[in-house]
Amino acid sequence: MSGNKQIAGGDGEWLQQSLEDDDQEIYQIIRNEKERQRCGLELIASENFASAAVLQALGSCLNNKYSEGYPGVRYYGGAEYIDEMERLCQRRALELFKLNKDEWAVNVQPYSGSPANFAVYTAIVQPHGRIMGLDLPDGGHLTHGFFTEKKKISATSIFFESMPYKVNQETGLIDYDKLAENAKLFKPKIIIAGVSCYSRHLDYKRMREIADENKAYLMADMAHISGLVAAGIVPSPFEHCHIVTTTTHKTLRGPRSGMIFCRKGVKSVDPKGNKEMYNLEKPINEAVFPGLQGGPHNHAIAGVAVALKQAMTDKFIQDQKQTIANAQHMAKLLVDRGYNVVTGGTDNHLMLVNLKSKGTDGNRADKVLEAIGVACNKNSCPGDTSALRPSGLRLGSPALTSRGFKEADFDKVADFIDRGIQLTLEIQQVIGPKAPFKDFKDKLYKDEDICAKVKSLKDEVASFASAFPIPGFPLL
């Protein structure tokens, strides 16, 4: 280090080193993960590739700033630019979803989707108050109140009382009649309209009617579909819901974060002209901070603002349309190859494929697909009796669509999936159909003949996938 530099940078200069110079171990791990992302086929329905601009905001100096509180009312000084940034993010959020600022408020501070949901329950439902959400095995999310006979799994089911509603086990479609019947008995404070694995539009209108009959709030959790909603190509939950929560990193393609929208202003006017006002904004804001969170993640909020601006462009809308077109195309290809796609297809970015009729299950197929570089999730299917052996795979198109995949490219993707599943069946044939999962994995990872086949498929996947661009930075 030169004498001059020492004067200018002092001992702090090492804190300006690049990651590569500073920490080779983490640098290499990130490089490896980037290679994995570049060479694989990403079909996890909740994942996406954030843009370089979003990642730059995430890696910015905003990470350094504490700003507990809200714009204009902070517990920390020096928050003038943070205020400006958070307000801009809020304005963009309302504009993107075409919401009037006199009728809707938005909180952009939730650290992610799960904390956003918990903040709403904390604000609106008393401890051990009641909520109803779609059951996890039926396509709902953990935070909608999941529990089993043995254990309360989600904190939502520990601190609140949850009663799930379900899909019809034959059709795979939400049983709204049953929801209406049970809501009448259970009298929930909140009904949640939101899904992590459901390929059809939700009937928000019907759900609002059910909520109204029981004086419940209707909350949409549009975590998966917020990009599609933003593009205006699936029904918007805002028309019928009181509260809407979302993540920002799924179809919306932003950083990992969360948002809560809620109605404000006049709720109703009685015959005498007396107005009843909504009381959601204040309790929700207080639940987020100081109730559950501390300092906002300002770098993430800035990244959300960037993603929201991108989401207002024609390019984004085109991408979202392509996302659905790709998913529908892939669903059709799989049906044509004899796969049982639950509900027969998809209205959105994902599908659930039940492998039972093919003679295998989600656990086994998922492992083989992972080994060949195709990433997706095992998932339970309607009619499954064992949670330990889910019958299906959840496949989604958002991430690959962000890499520029079109329908014709999904021909190839569907082919790789099919070949992975054929290989799954081949392994099962060798070890016998009843062989335990451990034997299956042994064969998959240790058998010479199988490993050679896996490697050759994986190489094919990699050479296909790596030809497509990948959003973000070139190396990291």
Ligand X SMILES: *Cc1c(COP(=O)(O)O)cnc(C)c1O
Catalytically annotated residues: 197, 249
CB nearer ligand X, residue 115 or residue 373: 115
Report CA-CA distances (Å) from 203 to 168, 192, 200, 347.
15, 12, 9, 13
- Which residues, 311 to 350, sit near ligand X by CB under 6 A? none
Our CB check for ligand X shows the closer of 201 and 315 to be 201
Q: Which is nearer to ligand X, 247 or 401 (CB)?
A: 247
What DSSP element (H or E) covers 374?
strand 374-375
Under the criterion CB under 6 A, does residue 110 sit at the interface with ligand X? no
CB of 229 to ligand X, least distance (A): 13
Q: Does 218 bind ligand X (CB under 6 A)?
A: no
In angstroms and rounded to an integer, the radius of gyration of the C-alpha atoms of the chain is 24
Nearer to ligand X, 112 or 363 (CB): 112
- Looking at residue 154, the DSSP 8-state letter turns out to be S
Backbone angles phi, psi at 131, to 5 degrees: -135, 155
Tell me if 113 contacts ligand X by CB under 6 A: yes
Q: Which stretch binds ligand X (CB under 6 A): 64-72, 98-106, 220-228, 424-432?
A: 220-228
Q: Looking at beta carbons only, is 46 or 182 nearer to ligand X?
A: 46
How many residues of this chain bind ligand X (CB under 6 A)?
Answer: 14
From the list 32-40, 113-121, 226-234, 362-370, the region that binds ligand X by CB under 6 A is: 113-121
**Partner residues linked to 247 by β-bridges:** 258
Query: Residue 407 in contact with residue 329, Cβ under 8 Å?
Result: yes
Residue 139 makes contact with ligand X by CB under 6 A: no
Whose CB is nearest to ligand X?
Answer: 113
User: Is residue 377 close enough to count as binding ligand X by CB under 6 A?
Assistant: no
The DSSP result for 288-312, as a single string, is IIIII--S--HHHHHHHHHHHHHHT
Beta strands in 113-164 (DSSP E): 130-132, 161-162
* Residues 450-469, mask of contacts with ligand X (x by CB under 6 A): --------------------
Calpha distance 405→442 (Å, rounded): 34
We find the least distance from the C-beta atom of residue 101 to ligand X, in angstroms, to be 25
Q: How far is the CB of 112 from ligand X (least distance, A)?
A: 3
Q: Establish if 247 lies at the interface with ligand X (CB under 6 A).
A: yes
Helix axis angle, 448-465 relative to 407-431, nearest 10°?
170
- Taking the complex as a whole, how short is the minimal distance between the CB of residue 120 and ligand X, in angstroms? 11
In the range 157-216, which residues lie near ligand X by CB under 6 A?
194-196
Smaller CB distance to ligand X: residue 172 or 258? Answer: 258
Q: Does 112 bind ligand X (CB under 6 A)?
A: yes
Q: With b meaning 16 or more CB within 10 Å and e meaning fewer, what string describes 50-82? A: bbeebbbbbeeebeebbbbbbbeebeeeebeeb
Q: What are phi and psi of 145, to 5 degrees?
A: 115, 30
For the chain, helix, strand, coil in percent to 5 are 50, 15, 35
Q: Which two tokens stand for residue 225?
A: 């579909």
Binder to ligand X among 223, 288, 308, 462 (CB under 6 A)? 223
Q: How far is the CB of 203 from ligand X (least distance, A)?
A: 17
Instruction: Tell me, rounded to whole angstroms, the distance of Cα 383 from its chain centroid.
Output: 24
* 396, 197 contact by CB (below 8 A): no
Task: Give the interface segment with ligand X, choosing from 95-103, 108-116, 124-132, 430-438 (CB under 6 A).
Answer: 108-116
Within residues 259-318, the interface with ligand X by CB under 6 A covers none
Residue with Cβ nearer ligand X (40 or 255):
255
Pairing assessment for the beta strands 258-263 and 243-247 based on DSSP bridges: antiparallel
Written as six digits, the tokens of 95 are 């504009």
Q: How far apart are CA 441 and CA 454, in angstroms?
A: 13
Residue 46 touches ligand X, criterion: CB under 6 A = yes
Partners of 350 in beta bridges: 396
State which of residues 42, 135, 221, 347 lies at the interface with ligand X (CB under 6 A): 221
The reply to whether omega before 290 is within 30° of 0 (cis) is yes
Q: Which is nearer to ligand X, 141 or 240 (CB)?
A: 141
Q: Smallest gap, in angstroms, from Cβ of residue 114 to ligand X?
A: 3
Closest CA relative to residue 45, chosen from 376, 367, 346: 376
Q: Does residue 253 touch ligand X according to CB under 6 A? A: no
Of the candidates 130, 200, 224, 364, which one interacts with ligand X according to CB under 6 A?
A: 224
Question: If binding is defined by CB under 6 A, does position 114 make contact with ligand X?
Answer: yes
Contacts with ligand X by CB under 6 A lie at: 46, 112-114, 117, 141, 143, 194-196, 221, 223-224, 247
